[in-house]
Structure 1
Amino acid sequence: MNLVTEHITILNEELILTNQRAIYWNKESALILSDLHIGKTAHFRRHGIPMPDDILQKDLRRLRELINHFNTRRLIIVGDLFHAETNSDMDTFKTWLKQFDDLSLVLVKGNHDRQSQRLMDELNIHVESTLIIDPFIFVHDPSDKTMKNFTFSGHIHPGVLLKGKGKQKLRLPCYQVSENQIILPAFSLFTGLNTRSTITEVVSYAFTDSAIFRLQ
């Protein structure tokens, strides 16, 4: 994993954007991400669509390296940790979690997170509809409305479309940062990109495997 970082400050809090689709919040020793969509590949295979077995493994390997790199104590997922019904990918995730002794996992429930409370308890995941850790609020769905508190969200899988000479086009994932919120890219590599932003007055931090760059 090639890790590139960009430091920004929001409300006097140091945040580290990474090109690996997650943000590290220094004060809380927290890694923040969205839209991991565990179970998506197994769901497709169950419905007869062939999918490689290692898609989830690659996402979890990258997440493990981020957790270890930042010495993360808290994992905050702003929605869509899971994708579909309970399937074999949940067993993979359960086994993966066992390697962390002191990691606290909080899920802000997303539209795909329909698993039972029994499964959440079994995985030791604390579930909230909205999470408040001063000075931030964590939700799943972004909003373009003026809010009193700064929010973190995901859901829309933001990206940017860069146009080159002729018909050359490049689509990249990004963080969308505005006056009152950050919208995170989907953590899973097995997701689409939404390059049609409805958020106004936004700064996009797009990234590749080797760089992060600011677009306004």
Structure 2
Amino acid sequence: MTITCSGQTLILDPERAIFWQEQRILIISDLHIGKPAHFRKHGIQVPSTLADQDLQRLHAIIEMYKPQIVLITGDLFHHQFNTDVEVFSEWKSAFKAIRFLLIKGNHDKLLEKNYLNLGIEVYEKEMICPPFRFIHDHPDDENEYYTISGHIHPGVTVHGKARQRLNLPCFYFGATYAVLPAFSAFTGLSMMKPQKGDQFYAITPERIIQISSSA
């Protein structure tokens, strides 16, 4: 689904990514590389293929949009360096011509040298690229830029026939900020409380559904 935000063209992809057409930037959030390995290290049996599946999805949308930049609004990694990070390093070697930018999230705990070796440009707090401000968690303050963030793994409830209810990941767009869905499939959902005028774009297996709030 293609929308206009702050005069810019944004393509909302069902694989939980935004392609900013004018700047050729692919935007994702909360990939959480290393989360399955972190769980296994602590005795929780999580399939090792989860990280591979997320990276295969990311590979496919990079091939589709051919961005100049991949921007991650936080939590690219889940914890410290582990085997899943090594898998990511090998995967990333296929995209040497693309810049990878990371706004650090609360889970991004790799050492500075790790990011350097991985070829990732790191922003400690935020990145300004007018008309947008990119940050991991939605800030309390507002400024002249429209904020795009991640962190909360937004979800929305869709009502169907026969009183059916589905909780789906979504893109959220409010008056002053937007929230991306978590890119990783290995995450939960934080159900958003709609305010009047909010726009939700629910992600179904088949398509994206726009839901306008009148609350």
Coarse TM-score class (shorter-chain normalised): over 0.9
Amino acid at match of 1:15: L
Cα pair 1:144 1:199 within 8 Å, conserved: no
Counterpart of 2:158 in structure 1 is: 162
Counterpart of 2:89 in structure 1 is: 94
| TM-score (normalised: structure 1) | 0.93
Cα distance in 1 for residues equivalent to 2:132 and 2:104: 17
Q: Of 11, 21, 24, which residue of structure 1 is paired with 2:6?
A: 11
Q: 1:198 to 1:204 in 2, by over 3 A?
A: closer
2:185 paired with 1:193: no
Q: Of 135, 150, 159, which residue of structure 2 is paired with 1:139?
A: 135
How far off is 1:200 after superposition?
6.3
Cα distance in 1 for residues equivalent to 2:94 and 2:202: 31
SS in 1 for 2:62: helix
| TM-score (normalised: structure 2) | 0.93
- List per-residue Cα deviations over 1:137-181 (Å, max 9, x = no partner): 100111465432101100000001224456632110000001211
Cα distance in 2 for residues equivalent to 1:41 and 1:94: 16
Cα distance in 1 for residues equivalent to 2:156 and 2:121: 33
How far off is 1:12 after superposition?
1.6
- List per-residue Cα deviations over 1:25-78 (Å, max 9, x = no partner): 111111001000001000000011111111011100000010010011100000
Q: Of 30, 34, 39, which residue of structure 1 is paired with 2:34?
A: 39
SS in 1 for 2:40: helix
Amino acid at match of 2:191: T
Counterpart of 1:3 in structure 2 is: none
Cα distance in 2 for residues equivalent to 1:202 and 1:111: 26
Q: 1:204 to 1:145 in 2, by over 3 A?
A: farther
**Alignment length, in residue pairs?**
211
Cα distance in 2 for residues equivalent to 1:149 and 1:200: 21
How far off is 1:198 after superposition?
7.1
Amino acid at match of 1:147: N
Q: 1:167 to 1:50 in 2, by over 3 A?
A: farther
- List per-residue Cα deviations over 1:67-99 (Å, max 9, x = no partner): 010011100000000111211111000000001
SS in 1 for 2:37: helix
SS in 1 for 2:202: strand
Structure 1 gap segments, 5+ residues each:
1-5
Counterpart of 2:45 in structure 1 is: 50
Cα distance in 1 for residues equivalent to 2:59 and 2:205: 17
Which shifted more, 199-208 or 150-159? 199-208
How far off is 1:196 after superposition?
3.6
Cα distance in 1 for residues equivalent to 2:55 and 2:116: 20
SS in 2 for 1:179: coil
> CA-atom RMSD, angstroms?
1.6
Cα distance in 1 for residues equivalent to 2:195 and 2:119: 34
Amino acid at match of 1:106: L
Cα distance in 2 for residues equivalent to 1:58 and 1:52: 11
2:210 paired with 1:211: no
Cα distance in 2 for residues equivalent to 1:83 and 1:115: 9
Cα distance in 1 for residues equivalent to 2:58 and 2:195: 28
Structure 2 gap segments, 5+ residues each:
none
How far off is 1:22 after superposition?
0.2
